[in-house]
Each structure stands twice: as C-alpha cells, then as structure tokens.
Amino acid sequence: MSLDLSKNAKNLLENRYLRRNEKREIIETPKELFQRVAKNIAEAEEDQEKQNYYEEEFYKLMTESKFLPNSPTLMNAGTELQQLAACFVLPVPDSMEGIFNAVKNAALIHKSGGGTGFAFSRLRPQNDVVKSTGGISSGPLSFMKVFNSATNTVKQGGKRRGANMGMLRVDHPDILNFINAKGELNEENQELYDQFETSLEETYLKPEIIDEELSNYKEKLLDKQFSNFNLSVAVTDEFMEAVQEGCNYKVVNPRNGQVVGELDAKKIFKLIVNYAWKNGEPGIIFIDEINRKNPVPNLGEIEATNPCGEQPLLPNEACNLGSINLSQFVKNQKVDWNALKDTVRLAVRFLDNVIDMNKYPLSEIEEQVMKARKIGLGVMGFHEMLIRLGISYNSEDAVEMAKKVMEFIKENAHQYSQELAEEKGAFPAWEESVYEKPQRNATLTTIAPTGSISFLAGTSGGIEPFFSFSYTHTDGEGNVSTFEYDFTEEADTDILVTTMDIEPEWHIRIQAAFQKYVDNAVSKTINLPYVASKEDVGEAYVLAHELGCKGLTVYRDGSRGSQVLETNKED
Ligand code: UDP
C-alpha cells in the first residue's frame, strides 16, 4: 500500500473529507477513509467472498493513486449520509408548485454534496399571462434569483458550496435578459449603484477617484449576481446555421409553443460572445448534438447538464463520476496499456456498485437513475502523462494520444459493462436503447474537471494543461495552498508548455479529440490570452460546433477580478 499523500493533499483531506464527530473532531485517518470507501462500495457484491475480494481491489485502486471516485463518494460512502453522486439535473416545470419543489429538492441535494443543473426553458416568459391570478408572470430570471438565494443559505453539508447550472434555450423569449444576467446590473443593483453615485457626487473627491470607486462598486455588485450559478445558453443547430447565414431565427413561448417573434441570430451570437469575452459567461451547450448522442432517446429529451457541463442528464437523473490518473500509466516513456485496461475494468465495476450503494435524496431520482444506470468514468493527469511521454500538449501527437487513450478507455469500459450485464443484468431501458448487445450502463464515460480529486492525486486536473508548474490555489472557502511540480526536472524543456502558451485552437482540438470517445461530455476551459479579441471567441464557438463538441467554456486571462489559480510571482 503506497498512501503517498502530499502535504497539500493531507490538508485537503483533513479540511473536507475525513469524518468528524459531533464536536467536529477528526475521527479517521486517510488510510481509514479509503478503507471505509472500499468496504462500502464492495458491499454491493452478492456474496461475502466477492465483497472481500473487491474491498481489497478497490482499496488498492485508490491508494495506488490509479483512480479516485468523485468527492461525494469519498466523503459519504459508509457514513449515515451515503449520498455518493456529484451530478444531478432537476426539472423546473412551469408552475408555482413545480418551481418551488425544485428549489426544495436542490437544497436537499446541495446538503448532500451534489451539484444541480436546471433548464429554465419551460418557464413562460416575463409579462406572459397567468390564468389563475389574472396577473403577469415574472419570468425565468426572477425565479433563478430564488434558487440562487436558497443556495447561499445551504452550504453543502459544510464541505462543498452549492453549485448550480442554469440553462435557457436560445429560442426562449427572455434570452436577452439571460445573456445579460451576469454582465449587466439588475434593477435592484442598479438602484444601489445610482444611490452610491449620488452620495459620491456630494463629496469633494476628484472625478477620477469617483470613477474608480464606481467601477469597483459595479464589479462588486455584478460578482454577487447569480454567484451560485454557472449560466449556459442552449444553442440549437438552427441557430448556428442562422448565425452563419446572417438571418433571423424564431422565438417561441414555451407555454403554448407559439412563435412570438424573431431575433437576429448574428446579433444574439455577438452578445453571447461579448459577455463571454468580458467575464467568461455565459457558456454555450450544443443541445441538438447532445440529444443526437442520447443513447436512450425513449426515456426523454435532455435539456440540461450538471454545474460544470460534463454530464448531460434527463430531468431527475443523477450520475456518479470517477477518474483514472493517467500519469500513473507511463513506464519508460510508454503507455502501460495492460495496466490501464485492468484499471478501467475495475473502475467500471466500482462506479456501477456506487449506483446500488447510493442513498438518493429523492425517490423520483432513484427511479430515474435505475432505468439507465449511467456512470461517468474519465481521466485526470492527461497533461502529466503527455510530459512523461515526451509529448507537447499543443501538438498533433497530443491530439492523437488523446484519441488513442480515450478510445481505449471507452472500448474497454463498454466491453466490461457488457460482461457485467451477463453477470448482474442489463440496465432496464436497454431494449429501447441504441445498443445492440446488452450492457449494464447506458453511458460509461465523462471527463470531469476533477478540481478536488486531482489535487488529492497530485496531478493535472482532468484533461487540462498545467496552469503553471508552481502555483497557489485558493479553494471556495479561501484556503490557500502552494504547489510545486518537480517531475519536470527530467523532462525536455521544449515540451513544458502551460495553459497560456497554448493556442485556443489546440485547447479545442484536445477537447474534441476526447469528446469523440466520451459518451457524456467533456469539462474543459478554452483559455485565451488577455489580448484575445471578441472575434477569437466567436471563432472558438464555431470551431467547437464544427468539431462535434457538446459545449464550450472560454476564459480570457485576467478578465475576472479573482481567479482560482494564480501563478506564483517568482515564475
Ligand atoms: N461539484 C459541486 N460542487 C463543487 C464542486 C463540484 O457540486 O464545489 C459537482 C459538479 O456537478 C461538478 C462535479 O461535482 O460538475 C464534478 O466536479 P469535480 O470533478 O471538480 O469534483 P471532485 O470530485 O474533484 O471534487
């Protein structure tokens, strides 16, 4: 057993993962944490002999740093909470009861450590009729505020902050307000801003100081708007074509399906691009591509993803994730394919067991999850793997390696899921699915950000390049830790590129290469230099759509006040 944890990883485990008693004292060691998780997940096996066998195997899998499940599994497996999934999507129906039910359900999920995604596209637009009261509706944006405040109130079990994804279809009548939601002051904040301006004007401050104060205040107010949400516009193929052709597209009231007007596609696209350029939001998802690749179309249409975008799900569906640490599979500058294959198979069994061991926060969710038994096996440490192989991240070789490694993982994962179907049964909705042979899980692969677990494993996150080989990380709670990667001493300096050395096109091509062999979606940020233009952002979206990505998030360096990762000054 090689529980080789860095000081940072130990700190993180102590702060957020290790069990505590009522007095908040830590009552387990890191070793005991992995024993607890391994034992609990092995309990899904049918007899004692198998339970013992897999408990040992799962323990080795995690402590040898080959694979880690998502944080809720590490935190909650074998505890009273027993909520193991990171990703949920909840329906938001167009009724008061439905909306507030979703607020309540989201609170329950956040408390258990999960993140929630919502499509607000079914809500009637602002100023539309409300029959029961004879009044007018307040629209998706005003209801989103309620979700946002509820999230503020419920800190995720004290260990994770509530994360939400809010989506709106590009053909919803309130799309303009949605695109502006984080970039322009809302009514209340505009009032506060105006009051502040008046009070400043009554002082004897120099005009340039007043301007600076006002601009800081505006930033502060904007930071608080929908601060618990990631926002993404769900764009359609029809919309992307209208952008290319420079024509209008139809806007539809979801209450009655009536076309209520047209919008200029290019103008809307430009608006999205402008805000994304300014502060990284809204992101976009390609909703038609997501539904084209839906393996069980009979179960319904996908409208939303989880908070970081990697997991499209049906309303009331949940999914648990886990990631293989690719940096562990390089031996003498070559990929150890046999070892990788063994790990894929064991990881699939682990994640499939998680479905059965999970205590779902709502019965509707349990019912929906059991129909398709989706899991999301992904990777972390891809960039570290490339460096160990002597490959530069921004190269054709890296794109080829991305395809090769993910194709291998996908094929072996599906193969093992078929074997599991023989042993334990296929997912109940299999007959109506796109699969010819029975398999245990409707989806097998997802690329998660691995924000916390890659930190525990001490490697690069998901498929992202290293931000720097020496940096300071501040988590959501303000805990600061410093990182130094020393493996670079042996590496050829030509290939030691970091995020900002890499052209946006390479970021997108790596994302697309992984997406080709991922059943769900890929979490990836397309980093642009501070000097990037709005046109660069627009081109990135078009390229991502052409290459078959399911969504895109861009981030222009320095465009937000506070950044999660900051390069150490001495670099
Ligand atoms: N997530 C969340 N709150 C957080 C971080 C993550 O709800 O503070 C959820 C969210 O759905 C996200 C998913 O967990 O998309 C996976 O995130 P990540 O891979 O970073 O999680 P980890 O397992 O590393 O903690």
Ligand 1 center–CA 173 separation, angstroms: 31
Residues 6+ away with beta carbon under 8 Å from 205: 213
Whole-number Å distance between alpha carbons of 59 and 51: 12
The ipTM of this complex is 0.95
Q: How far apart are CA 277 and CA 530, in angstroms?
A: 9
Query: What is the 8-class DSSP label of residue 160?
Result: B
- 449: CA distance to ligand 1 center in Å? 7
Backbone angles phi, psi at 397, to 5 degrees: -60, -35
Number of domains in the chain: 1
Q: Residue for token digits 């007007």?
A: 261
Nearest one of 456, 151, 188, 453 to 307, comparing CA atoms: 151
Measured CA to CA, the distance from residue 499 to residue 497 in angstroms comes to 7
Ligand 1 first shell, C-beta below 6 A: 70-71, 86-87, 114-115, 160-161, 163, 306-308, 310, 321, 448-453
405 domain residue, yes or no? no
DSSP assignment of 243-295 equals HHHT-EEEEEETTTTEEEEEEEHHHHHHHHHHHHHHHS-SEEEEHHHHHHT-S
For 421-451, give the DSSP string. Answer: HHHH---TTGGGSS-SS--S-S--B-B---T
Strand 164-169 and strand 229-235: pairing?
A: parallel
354: phi then psi, degrees, rounded to nearest 5: -55, -40
Residue of 308, 313, 321, 446 to test ligand 1 pocket, by largest number of atoms within 8 Å of CB: 308
First CA to last CA distance, the chain: 36
> Does residue 204 sit within a domain?
yes
The answer as to whether 464 is a domain residue is no
Whether residue 154 is contained in a domain is answered as yes
pLDDT of residue 158: 63
Residue 323 near residue 448, CB atoms below 8 Å:
yes
Q: 247-270 in b/e burial notation, b at 16+ Cβ within 10 A?
A: eebebbbbbeeeeeeebebbebbe
Alpha-carbon distance of 119 to 90, in angstroms, equals 8
Amino acid at 562: S
As beta bridge partners, residue 232 has 167, 283
Give the range of the structural domain holding residue 256, as residue numbers without chain letter: 92-290
Query: What single DSSP character describes residue 480?
Result: E
Helix, strand, coil shares of the chain, percent, nearest 5, are 45, 15, 35
Question: Does residue 333 belong to any structural domain of this protein?
Answer: no
Q: Name the residue of 452, 454, 564 whose CB sits within 8 Å of the most ligand 1 atoms, as the mutation to test its pocket.
A: 452
Quote the pLDDT of residue 160. Answer: 78
Residue 383 Cα to ligand 1 midpoint, Å, equals 20
Q: For atom 2 of ligand 1, which residue has the closest CA? A: 115
Structure tokens belonging to residue 123 = 């809500």
Give the span between the Cα atoms of 403 and 304, in whole angstroms: 26
- The number of the ligand 1 atom at minimal distance from the alpha carbon of 115 is 7
In a domain, 40, yes or no: no
Using only the alpha carbons of the chain, give its radius of gyration: 24
Q: How far is the CA of 251 from the centre of ligand 1 (A)?
A: 33
Tell me the CA–centroid distance for residue 109 and ligand 1, in Å. Answer: 13
H/E run at residue 223: helix 207-224
Return the best residue to mutate from 16, 17, 68, 71 for the ligand 1 pocket (most ligand atoms within 8 A of CB). 71
Ligand 1 atom nearest to CA at 306: 11
Q: Catalytic site residues? A: 306, 308, 310
Q: Residue-wise pLDDT tens for the chain (571 aa)?
A: 457 788 889 999 999 999 999 999 999 999 999 999 999 999 999 999 999 999 999 999 999 999 999 999 999 999 999 999 999 999 999 999 999 999 999 999 998 889 999 999 999 999 998 888 888 999 999 999 999 999 988 876 567 778 999 999 999 999 999 999 999 999 899 999 999 999 999 988 899 999 999 999 999 999 889 999 999 999 999 999 999 999 999 999 999 999 999 999 999 999 999 999 998 999 999 999 999 999 999 999 999 999 999 999 999 999 999 999 999 999 999 999 999 999 999 999 999 999 999 999 999 999 999 999 999 999 999 999 999 999 999 999 999 999 999 999 999 999 999 999 999 999 999 999 999 999 999 999 999 999 999 999 999 999 999 998 887 877 666 777 777 777 655 677 989 999 999 999 999 999 999 999 999 999 999 999 999 999 999 999 999 999 999 999 999 988 875 444 455 543 3
Collect all residues with Cβ–Cβ distance below 8 Å to 134 and sequence separation of at least 6: none
In a domain, 99, yes or no: yes
Contact 59, 346 (CB under 8 A): no
Return the CATH number at 138.
3.20.70.20
Q: For residue 394, is it within any domain?
A: no
Q: Specify whether the CB–CB gap between 311 and 305 falls below 8 A.
A: yes
Token readout for 207 is: 């005009």
